[in-house]
Amino acid sequence: MKYAALFLILGFLACKEQVQLQKISGQNIKVDVNLPGVDSIGEFIKPYKSSIEDEMNKILSYTPKAMYKNDTPYNTAIGNMMADAVFEVANPVFYQRFNDSIDAVLLNYGGIRAGINKGKITTRTAYNIMPFENMVVVAKLDHKGVEQMVEYLSKAKKAHPISNMSIKLNGNWKLLDFRIADNAIVKGQFYYIATSDYLVNGGDNMTFFQEAEAIYPTDYKLRSLLIDYFEANDTIRSMPDRRFQMIKQ
């Protein structure tokens, strides 16, 4: 048996030595609008493409006013809408799964990838706003973790979307007041902050999430949540408010 194996190995090596590379050739093919299509492939994907287009163009809601993330400082209509949507839609999911309630929401300014034009809101709108596969997660923070979060927001100088919490700063970006659901932070208490999996992993330098006592997955994509929120609300009337204020003294 061992001789048979030896013959096989020797035969393989002999064949291997006979293989010689003669030539390598290639051609650059520019992929652009001038590249001719293949009719058979086009016909094959046509019904799928049509179905996807119908779904993407499905009207979910309506907004009487356009919303963009650079419309106003500190907090914006679109940012408030996104954070409020997470608070409203993810809370029942979190409660059903973990028998507890979300206290507040923090998303990131850079995660808003597009605005919303005045008029019809479609499935495509949700994909434009949130093209990533980010999931909603909930971080359990103690009062020290919340204080680190507040310090981050005080120094960020960006309109990071928040919901069910308020922050007041003076003209020098110094903290004047911070509350969750109109209540001051209590030492020894834990707070459940809904956010994205990108941020709990330290995205946008939100390293305070990495100090969380626990992270709870919801298996709910932010994009899917927005689609569900739009379908549940026939008119979106979000606007800037007083949740993030700069008090000039």
pLDDT, one tens digit per residue, over 72-89 is 999 999 999 999 999 999
Across residues 153-171, what is the average pLDDT? 95
Who wins on pLDDT, 180 or 37?
A: 180
Residue 6 lies in a domain: no
Residue 7 lies in a domain: no
Who wins on pLDDT, 57 or 4?
A: 57
Residue 47 lies in a domain: no
- pLDDT category, 54, cuts 50, 70, 90? confident
Residue 232 lies in a domain: yes
- Angle at CA of residue 153, ends 152 and 156, nearest 5°: 80
Residue 33 lies in a domain: no
Domain of 94, in residue numbers? 56-247
Contact between 192 and 100 (Cβ < 8 Å): yes
pTM: 0.82
Question: Which tokens go with 226?
Answer: 């927005």
pLDDT, one tens digit per residue, over 113-122 is 999 999 999 9
Report the CATH number at residue 122: 3.90.780.10
Residue 18 lies in a domain: no
The predicted structure's pLDDT at residue 28: 82
Average pLDDT, the chain: 89
> How many distinct structural domains can be found in the chain?
1
The predicted structure's pLDDT at residue 159: 94
Residue 81 lies in a domain: yes
pLDDT, one tens digit per residue, over 86-142 is 999 999 999 999 999 999 999 999 999 999 999 999 999 999 999 999 999 999 999
| Percentage of the chain modeled with pLDDT above 90 | 75
- pLDDT category, 222, cuts 50, 70, 90? very high
Q: 144: Cβ–Cβ under 8 A, 6 or more apart, which residues?
A: 211
The predicted structure's pLDDT at residue 24: 81
> Side-chain half-sphere of 23: how many Cα atoms within 13 Å?
2
